[in-house]
């Protein structure tokens, strides 16, 4: 079964980069200069490079009105451009990690399965989870901090 990983669009984040640090603070957003690895942009699904500017903000990635409704911190690179991935393509930020947490949701937004997967096994684990007819989509999370990485759908 083929799948596609979807990065977030840049449009809702672009205006935030024009705000002052004080305005960002009022919104609970932090502007940072990347010093080392560990700032995966959710628009490009690549790690930001040292010296790049990113915003660290809270993002509601699971808006369903269920017990699994969820928000968490994400990074967005200042100069990020919308990024798409071919069916079956694993984004660079995924490959740069040893494991990902995959969470399977039904149409109502209820989690019905989950797995901690070595990234070298993603190409088989994702189709395995999507093969369940009850699964509507997957969310990938970085397991250390638990941050949302991206949505994965059948293609």
Distances (CA, A) of 111 to 25, 51, 78, 105, 138: 33, 38, 32, 4, 9
Long-range contacts of 30-37 (CB under 8 A, 24+ apart): 30/55, 30/56, 30/57, 31/55, 31/56, 32/56, 37/96
Provide long-range contacts, Cβ within 8 A and 24+ apart, for 134-137.
134/106, 135/104, 135/105, 135/106, 136/105, 136/106, 136/107, 137/104, 137/105
Q: Which structural domain, as residue segments, surrounds residue 56?
A: 3-154
In this predicted structure, what is the pLDDT of residue 144? 85
Task: Classify residue 40 by its DSSP letter.
Answer: B
Our measurement of the distance from residue 137's CA atom to the centroid of its chain's CA atoms, rounded to an integer in Å, reads 13
Alpha helices of the chain — where are they, by DSSP H?
A: 21-26, 92-95, 122-130
**Domains in the chain: how many in total?**
1
How far apart are alpha carbons 109 and 67 in whole angstroms? 9
What confidence tier does 36 reach under pLDDT thresholds 50, 70, 90? confident
Using a pLDDT cut of 90, give the percent of the chain over it: 95
Q: pLDDT tens for residues 49-97? A: 999 999 999 999 999 999 999 999 999 999 999 999 999 999 999 999 9
pLDDT of residue 74: 97
**Model confidence, pTM:** 0.95
């Amino acid at each position: 079964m083929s799948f596609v990983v979807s990065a977030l669009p840049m449009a809702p984040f672009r205006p935030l980069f024009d705000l002052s640090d004080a305005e960002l603070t009022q919104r609970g957003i932090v502007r940072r200069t990347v010093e080392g690895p560990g700032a995966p942009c959710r628009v490009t699904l690549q790690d930001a490079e040292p010296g790049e500017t990113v915003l660290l903000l809270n993002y509601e990635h699971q808006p369903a009105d269920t017990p699994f409704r969820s928000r968490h911190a994400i990074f967005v690179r200042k100069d990020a451009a919308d990024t798409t991935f071919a069916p079956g393509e694993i984004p660079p930020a995924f490959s740069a990690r040893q494991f990902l947490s995959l969470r399977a949701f039904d149409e109502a937004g209820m989690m019905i399965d989950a797995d901690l997967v070595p990234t070298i096994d993603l190409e088989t684990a994702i189709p395995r989870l999507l093969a369940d007819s009850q699964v509507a989509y997957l969310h990938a999370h970085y397991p250390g901090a638990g941050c949302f990485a991206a949505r994965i759908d059948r293609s």
